[in-house]
């Protein structure tokens, strides 16, 4: 209990000093707001269908949509795609919401173990191909589709809510947004405490090894959530 209180207190104090992300990222932030609006109808429709919170989902996805805008003109993934399809060993971010094949596989594998609970996501669990290489090729094709990525994001939301139901039932809105954002950016299959430990770590946008200024992923999600009416 004391641990959770400390986490909540730290988040509350931290949120008083959120960076001004529109000023920091400039046109990238503005353009990402416009791009998010293009996906809103699909997000809201699927969120309602699957009884999910569209505002949390939008906030979770927004930093990746912005990162995609930063790198879309310079990234080249065709070589990595070939390695992944052939061997399954390469892992890389792809598509507007920067999902990795390993992320999609984790979601699929988790849902496949509970077919009755996740029967509504059958389109993500069925492949036309039966051999591993063919399945990986189809998975890459899916991940290049924003519509499929939104469906993966909805499944992610459902799985996180199943694993940690107390987050949506008992925690503050800020904690919910930050927790889901960190689970998306870090790993949704690790224990709750590990997700919480990563909630205030700065890796965005290009990882810990990059020498550029780094920001906290959940900060951006929470900022976007707070200012969603103007974005």
pLDDT (0 to 100) of residue 212: 84
In a domain? residue 18: no
For residue 18, the 8-state DSSP code is: -
In a domain? residue 156: yes
Range of the domain at 187: 27-230
In a domain? residue 3: no
Contact between residue 107 and residue 152 where contact means Cβ atoms under 8 Å apart:
yes
Structure tokens at 86: 């052939």
Whether residue 205 is preceded by a cis peptide bond, meaning omega within 30 degrees of 0, is yes
For the chain, residues with pLDDT lower than 50 are 3, 6, 13
Cα dihedral value 213, 65, 56, 52, nearest 10 = -150
In a domain? residue 135: yes
In a domain? residue 115: yes
pTM over 0.75: yes
C-alpha angle 155-145-132 in degrees, rounded to nearest 5:
75
Total tally of structural domains belonging to the chain: 1
In a domain? residue 203: yes
In a domain? residue 5: no
For residue 52, the 8-state DSSP code is: -
pLDDT (0 to 100) of residue 59: 98
- Tell me the Cα Rg of the chain: 17
pLDDT (0 to 100) of residue 75: 65
């Amino acid at each position: 209990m004391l641990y959770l209180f400390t986490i909540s207190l730290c988040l509350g104090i931290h949120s008083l000093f959120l960076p001004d992300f529109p000023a920091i990222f400039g046109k990238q932030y503005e353009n990402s707001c416009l791009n998010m609006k293009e996906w809103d109808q699909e997000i809201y429709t699927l969120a309602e269908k699957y009884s999910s919170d569209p505002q949390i989902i939008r906030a979770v996805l927004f930093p990746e949509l912005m990162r995609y805008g930063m790198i879309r003109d310079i990234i080249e993934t065709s070589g990595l795609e070939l390695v992944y399809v052939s061997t399954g060993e390469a892992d890389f971010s792809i598509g507007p919401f920067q999902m990795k094949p390993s992320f999609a596989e984790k979601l699929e594998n988790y849902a496949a173990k509970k077919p009755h609970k996740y029967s509504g996501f059958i389109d993500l669990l069925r492949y036309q191909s039966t051999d591993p290489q063919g399945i990986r090729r189809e998975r890459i094709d899916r991940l290049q589709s924003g519509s499929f990525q939104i469906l993966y994001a909805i499944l992610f939301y459902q799985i996180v809510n199943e694993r940690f139901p107390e987050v949506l039932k008992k925690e503050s809105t800020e904690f919910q947004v930050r927790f889901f954002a960190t689970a998306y950016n870090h790993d949704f299959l690790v224990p709750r405490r590990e997700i919480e430990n990563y909630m205030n770590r700065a890796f965005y946008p290009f990882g810990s090894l990059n020498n550029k200024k780094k920001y906290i992923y959940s900060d951006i999600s929470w900022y976007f959530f707070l200012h969603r009416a103007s974005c």
